[in-house]
Chain A
Amino acid sequence: MNLPAPNQWTRRLIILLVLGVLAAACGGGSGFEESGGGDQAEGGGGATGGSDGGDAGVSLQLMGFSSSPAEDQELSKIIDGYNEQSSNTAEFNPVPDYATTLQASLAGGEPPDVFYVNDNQIPDLATANTLAPAEGNIDNPDDFYPNLKEAFTFEGTWYCPPKDFSTLALQYNTQLLSDAGVEPPTNWDELRAAAQKLTKGDVVGLVLGPEYFRWGVFNEQAGGGLTNDDLTEMTAAAPPNVEAFDYLEQMYQQGTAAEPSDLQAGWAGEAFGQGKAAMTIEGNWMVAAMRDGYPDLKWETAELPEGPAGKGTFSFSVCYAVPQGAKNPDASWDLVNYLVSSEQMLAFTKQFPVMPSRPSLRDQWLEANPDLKAFLDSAEYARSPAWVPGFQAVLDQLNSGIQGIAAGNKQPQQVLEETQQTGQSVLGG
């Protein structure tokens, strides 16, 4: 090595270089925040210019997911309406892989101003102390379906107003039913008979996804359920649940009911749309899915058949939540209030066959969607599936068991007893 000893200059150069790299790295970081702040200042500035004096608006981000470009468009229209009448500027940001993105942004301490939350995530998010309570921030808080409001309430605190909701109902292929001379079934016996009659050739009577969010409606109709109402005791292995699962197992074994994968379909709607199954149990999303994928299919929807204990179904909902420690809580709630106001909710749900979560909009929505009455009528007795933090593991276990029953290698009794045990350790511990 014949390198000359580094003189003062080279040494300084090296130090400068290192400092430069470090400065660049740090500078990048702080530059980020500055630009974020800059945006806000800009939004505020623009708004002060346009609105009534001192009320400086802020920019708000609404994070959510979107099922279709059409839904994006419709929501963007409503957001544009908000931006026109408010000093705030809101923006809708649909993200892929929503649950993971939301979790990361909450953990990172910089959550969006308003975001969607699924009803079954409320227990986990509420326990983690991430959501601001909604009480007092929403106009007409009593004009929501009680079971939906209940779904977004955890340990006595109501966290967020439901955006809209869907219920599970029975869809049937009108052509196949009239060919076989079958009326839409209204109780379990009729459902079994109808499925039997409709099963011939390549067609199966009923296609049903092997998961609790489908099978569970039969438990409801039998008067069962996974837990008691206080969520303190598991009731999974109780007789009504066994009865419901036995009923379904029989249909699968007779071949009058099938999993979507048995029919080479990704989900029940696909098998139904392709005419491989005469009936299925799905929610409001079927409307858009059938319209886009199988526009020629003739189908109708009816309330689910009654079980031994009467009617029962599930409803699924999403709410607009504001994070705990939001930067601009007032502005965030202002946006939420606008989005769940009767006028905007109706405008949004009319176009999409999801249903308004405010009962007062019932008749207006029905006028626009008369053929979807069954979905809305189901709301009267629907239950929102939400349990306690950590319950997802129990559902995973149960779903795995349900797959086993459908495939014919597990017994209902055994599956429900395993679920009972697993669940009790989650509820108890």
Chain B
Amino acid sequence: MNELRRRIGQSEALSGWAFTAPVLIGLAVFLLFPIFMALYISFTDWNGISPPFQAELIGLQNYKDLLVNPGISRLDFAISVRNNLYYVLGVVPLQTSISFVLAVIVNQKFLRGKSFFRSAYYFPSITSSVAISLIFLFLFTQNGAVNKFLSVFIPGDLDVNWLFNANGVIHNALGVIGIETAPGFLATHGFLGQSWWEWLAGPSVALLSIMILATWTTIGTLMLIFLAGLQNIPVELEEASQIDGASRLQHFFRVTLPLMKPTLFFVLTVGIIGSWQVFDQVFVISKGAPQKTTITLAYLVYREGFTNFSMGRATAVAFILFVIIVIFTLVQRRFVNPDEV
């Protein structure tokens, strides 16, 4: 009897493996192998041209060039970390809050034309990001729609050259209150070869434009996810809180929001990962210009690998980016804590 059970178990295991084999092989070939290969390459000086396994192993040299050794690689890395950090700090809260509000609005029971609004908000997400970026190029030109629109509210003719303006917005804001140059300490000290004053520049006007574009394209998808979460909340809870005499606001903050925590966590995680990896908008709109203020880490990976012929350094940047994303996600998890509903 035991013998029979054992044999059945064995053949079940076999068929289990057999049925999952196609997917497992696919994962191994297209996911695991490239990841480990990239990790290996990040320890070599591969130029991206000659066969990769002929490249010389140089240990941690690539990582040192990016993080320790003074030079152009470290400076470019610092610049892209700064740009990307401002990008994430701007885009993630903005897109999360806007899409949440939108989801709450289109979730109203008595809203007319609900499905129209749902499709309208979702529309940018299903359009190719390259096409949208090209349209934004026109919107943000000197005599484009954005300047025309803002001129209505701001006196005088507005002629900001959005996509070519390298001034950091924090620097600009400080300029308004009269701080034009760096106070001594900020100019002389720095981190990763970049002075603190440069770190504090804020996103450039050009990067800000790209941030607006990115926010606009992603809120649709995030709204949809929030909407699904909202509709998962049982109606009974709403009724119960109404019977208990909760106001609408109390209901929102005490019932809806806590129940939305898992969804919120998901949206924030997806948002953080996506924002750290922003590439296509930069590639289409600015290619890192003006004055390197729109170089993001993913774009740096591309530039190092494909125009500067140092694939080893490019993969090293990619792995540092991976670590940054993991850290950000963990920190964010502490704050939101999805398990504690």
B18, A390: Cβ atoms under 8 Å? no
Indicate if A262 sits at the interface (CB-CB under 8 A). Answer: yes
Q: A106-B49, A127-B47, A390-B310 are in contact. Are A18 and B21 (CB under 8 A)?
A: yes
Q: How far is the CB of B27 from chain A (nearest CB, A)?
A: 14
A11–B306 Cα distance when bound, in Å, is: 49
**Residues in B whose Cβ lies below 8 Å from that of A259:** 164
B18, A393: Cβ atoms under 8 Å? no
Indicate if A130 sits at the interface (CB-CB under 8 A). Answer: yes
A127–B54 Cα distance when bound, in Å, is: 13
A262, B161: Cβ atoms under 8 Å? yes
Residue in chain B with minimal CB distance to A8: B11
Indicate if A6 sits at the interface (CB-CB under 8 A). Answer: yes
A390, B308: Cβ atoms under 8 Å? yes
By the criterion of a CB under 8 Å from any partner CB, how many residues of chain A are at the interface?
A: 45
Indicate if B119 sits at the interface (CB-CB under 8 A). Answer: no
Question: B residues within 8 Å of A by Cβ?
Answer: 7-8, 11-12, 14-15, 18-19, 21-22, 25, 47-52, 71-73, 76, 141-143, 161, 163-167, 288-292, 303, 306-310
B48, A425: Cβ atoms under 8 Å? no
A261, B15: Cβ atoms under 8 Å? no
A425, B164: Cβ atoms under 8 Å? no
**Residues in B whose Cβ lies below 8 Å from that of A389:** 47, 309
Q: How far is the CB of A287 from chain B (nearest CB, A)?
A: 26
Q: How far is the CB of A30 from chain B (nearest CB, A)?
A: 16
**Residues in A whose Cβ lies below 8 Å from that of B288:** 396
**Stretch binding the partner chain, chosen from A178-186, A278-286, A376-384, A402-410:** A402-410
B308, A404: Cβ atoms under 8 Å? no
A403, B290: Cβ atoms under 8 Å? yes
Indicate if A14 sits at the interface (CB-CB under 8 A). Answer: yes
A103, B22: Cβ atoms under 8 Å? no
Indicate if A394 sits at the interface (CB-CB under 8 A). Answer: yes
A264–B48 Cα distance when bound, in Å, is: 37
A21–B142 Cα distance when bound, in Å, is: 57
B141, A264: Cβ atoms under 8 Å? yes
**Residues in A whose Cβ lies below 8 Å from that of B72:** 393-394, 397, 422, 425-426
Residue in chain A with minimal CB distance to B71: A425
A11–B303 Cα distance when bound, in Å, is: 51
Q: A106-B49, A128-B50, A259-B164 are in contact. Are A403 and B291 (CB under 8 A)?
A: yes
A19–B161 Cα distance when bound, in Å, is: 61
A401–B11 Cα distance when bound, in Å, is: 68
**Residues in B whose Cβ lies below 8 Å from that of A130:** 49-50
Indicate if A15 sits at the interface (CB-CB under 8 A). Answer: yes
A1–B261 Cα distance when bound, in Å, is: 37
A124–B48 Cα distance when bound, in Å, is: 10
**Residues in B whose Cβ lies below 8 Å from that of A399:** 289
Residue in chain B with minimal CB distance to A402: B291
A17, B18: Cβ atoms under 8 Å? yes
Residue in chain A with minimal CB distance to B49: A128
B47, A124: Cβ atoms under 8 Å? yes
Please report which residues of chain A, range 259-309, place their CB below 8 angstroms from some CB of chain B when the two chains form the complex: 259, 261-262, 264
Indicate if A129 sits at the interface (CB-CB under 8 A). Answer: yes
Residue in chain A with minimal CB distance to B303: A396
**Residues in B whose Cβ lies below 8 Å from that of A18:** 18, 21-22
**Residues in B whose Cβ lies below 8 Å from that of A409:** 166-167
15 A-B pairs within 8 Å (CB atoms) are namely A5-B11, A107-B48, A109-B51, A259-B164, A389-B309, A390-B309, A392-B308, A393-B73, A396-B303, A401-B291, A403-B291, A404-B166, A407-B166, A409-B166, A409-B167
**Residues in B whose Cβ lies below 8 Å from that of A397:** 72
- Choose from B19, B50, B161, B291 the contact partner of A107 (Cβ within 8 Å): B50
A103–B310 Cα distance when bound, in Å, is: 12
Q: How far is the CB of B215 from chain A (nearest CB, A)?
A: 24
**Residues in B whose Cβ lies below 8 Å from that of A25:** 25
Residue in chain B with minimal CB distance to A125: B49
**Residues in B whose Cβ lies below 8 Å from that of A394:** 72
Q: How far is the CB of A303 from chain B (nearest CB, A)?
A: 30
A261, B308: Cβ atoms under 8 Å? no
Could you count the A-B residue pairs with CB atoms below 8 Å apart for me: how many are there?
103
Q: How far is the CB of A45 from chain B (nearest CB, A)?
A: 32
B166, A103: Cβ atoms under 8 Å? no
10 new A-B contacts, CB < 8 A, other than A5-B11, A18-B21, A130-B49, are: A14-B18, A15-B18, A100-B306, A103-B48, A124-B309, A129-B50, A130-B50, A261-B164, A264-B141, A409-B166
Q: Nearest 5 A-B pairs (CB), nearest first? A: A128-B49, A261-B164, A422-B72, A124-B309, A14-B18
A6, B310: Cβ atoms under 8 Å? no
A425–B165 Cα distance when bound, in Å, is: 30
A261–B164 Cα distance when bound, in Å, is: 7
Please report which residues of chain A, range 105-158, place their CB below 8 angstroms from some CB of chain B when the two chains form the complex: 106-107, 109, 124-125, 127-130
A88–B165 Cα distance when bound, in Å, is: 54
Indicate if A400 sits at the interface (CB-CB under 8 A). Answer: yes
Q: How far is the CB of A389 from chain B (nearest CB, A)?
A: 7
**Residues in A whose Cβ lies below 8 Å from that of B292:** 396, 400
A264–B49 Cα distance when bound, in Å, is: 38
A191–B289 Cα distance when bound, in Å, is: 28
Q: A264-B143, A404-B291, A425-B71 are in contact. Are A107 and B15 (CB under 8 A)?
A: no
Residue in chain A with minimal CB distance to B307: A392
**Residues in B whose Cβ lies below 8 Å from that of A17:** 18
**Residues in B whose Cβ lies below 8 Å from that of A407:** 164-166, 290-291
A6, B51: Cβ atoms under 8 Å? no
A15–B50 Cα distance when bound, in Å, is: 40
A400–B309 Cα distance when bound, in Å, is: 19
A107, B290: Cβ atoms under 8 Å? no
A103, B49: Cβ atoms under 8 Å? yes
A10–B307 Cα distance when bound, in Å, is: 54
B306, A21: Cβ atoms under 8 Å? no
**Residues in B whose Cβ lies below 8 Å from that of A103:** 48-49, 306, 309
**Residues in B whose Cβ lies below 8 Å from that of A396:** 76, 288, 292, 303, 308
Residue in chain A with minimal CB distance to B73: A393
**Residues in B whose Cβ lies below 8 Å from that of A6:** 11-12, 15
Q: How far is the CB of A344 from chain B (nearest CB, A)?
A: 29
A315–B21 Cα distance when bound, in Å, is: 57
Q: How far is the CB of A397 from chain B (nearest CB, A)?
A: 6
**Residues in B whose Cβ lies below 8 Å from that of A10:** 15
Q: How far is the CB of A277 from chain B (nearest CB, A)?
A: 15
Q: Among B8, B71, B72, B141, which residue has the most Cβ atoms of chain A within 10 A?
A: B72
A230–B188 Cα distance when bound, in Å, is: 35
* Interface membership of chain A positions 1-38, coded 1 if the CB is closer than 8 angstroms to chain B and 0 otherwise: 00001100011001101100110010000000000000
A394–B290 Cα distance when bound, in Å, is: 16
